[in-house]
Amino acid sequence: MTEGLGATIFGCAGPGLLAEERAFFREANPFGFIVFARNVETPDQLLRLTSDLREAVGRDAPVLVDQEGGRVQRLRAPHWREWDPPLDTVERAGSVEAAERIMRLRAMVIAAELAAVGIDANCVPTLDVARAATHAFLRNRCYSTDPAVVSRIGRAVADGLMAGGVLPVMKHLPGHGLSQLDTHLDLPTVHVSLDELKAIDFAPFRALNDLPMAMTAHLVFAACDPGLPATQSPRMIGLIRDEIGFKGLLMSDDLNMQALKGTLAERTARTIAAGVDVALHCKGDMAEMQEVAAAAGTMTPAARARADAVIAARKPGTVDVAAALAELADG
């Protein structure tokens, strides 16, 4: 194992940890791991995988997932509950208060399911404010078109996760709702004033800036930095730290997304140089992971302090799943 903590989060190729992956992770010592549908078969298998990932680095490393509900849900039936898209659930609730209660209960149940298989961080709440033109890949993953409602629902989701022993990772800083392109394929540019961004898109992230972890957005905000996506912009990372006030661990969105240009090594180096703490690589491809690990290097002292705070924030869950499901069934 290397002495320093790698400034990376990695996935793996399949449902079981390969010998070459085990050796690589021991050497690269990533901060944590992320699992996808390709890694998921049964609860017993997934618990074995998360345990093996942690054993590979010799510590209780965080294991993350995207379990939003709706289309973005890596753990699915028949072993895990299926959930409606977040925006649909919020709109059906009838009131903000009812939506807060439902989304908190839902997050509690999700957290209990994740914790049971060794997953202790979930990449929600999605605090992007939906707009009429928000790209379909994102729109029903949002909570509302009203930033105040997004903030309230986001807080309820974060509280529900933490009650179940799972840390929230808010996304996509500083706001993805104005994107009219899918960042898996293209780099969007947002053309609105800084005042509008502050009032709408940045507002939910400012309201939840006390959360321990957050993920950046691969968008260009022309009013702030017309030349670089937020993930790779020192100006935007400075805005996230100072204007939005987020002091926790900042991770990139997936570096393989085609919104970013250049080789993986170049994407990684630009991301870390901009001030992002941890580079996220999701694909599980060994050659690519080696490239990212070499370019990311180890965490800076400031990033390491934020990583230590994340580890300290993890607490055991105390969710009564049966009671939460009964309350959800009552509407």
pLDDT band of 188, cuts 50, 70, 90: confident
pLDDT of residue 330: 85
Q: What are phi and psi of 119, to 5 degrees?
A: -100, 125
Return mean pLDDT, the chain: 95
The active-site residue out of 128, 253, 254, 277 is 253
Q: How many Å apart are CA 15 and CA 177, to the nearest integer? A: 33
Domain count, the chain: 1
259 vs 125, residue with greater confidence: 125
Residue 331 within a domain: no
Residue 96 within a domain: yes
Residue 280 within a domain: yes
Is there a catalytic annotation at residue 191? no
pLDDT in tens, 81-137: 999 999 999 999 999 999 999 999 999 999 999 999 999 999 999 999 998 889 888
Q: Is the per-residue pLDDT at 1 higher than 80? A: no
Q: How many Å apart are CA 250 and CA 31, to the nearest integer? A: 12
Residue 72 within a domain: yes
Residue 228 within a domain: yes
Residue 11 within a domain: yes
Residue 123 has which token pair?
């990449």
Neighbouring CB atoms inside 10 A of 193's CB total 10
51 with 118: CB under 8 angstroms?
A: yes
Domain that holds residue 108: 6-326
pLDDT of residue 2: 39
The active-site residue out of 84, 88, 184, 191 is 184
Is there a catalytic annotation at residue 253? yes
Residues linked to residue 9 through DSSP beta bridges, in sequence order: 32, 280
Residue 1 within a domain: no
Residue 248 within a domain: yes
Q: What are phi and psi of 23, to 5 degrees?
A: -65, -40
Residue 218 has which token pair?
């691969």
**Apex 200 CA angle, 213 and 280, nearest 5:** 30
122 with 114: CB under 8 angstroms?
A: yes
pLDDT in tens, 55-92: 999 999 999 999 999 999 999 999 999 999 999 999 99
CATH number at residue 256: 3.20.20.300
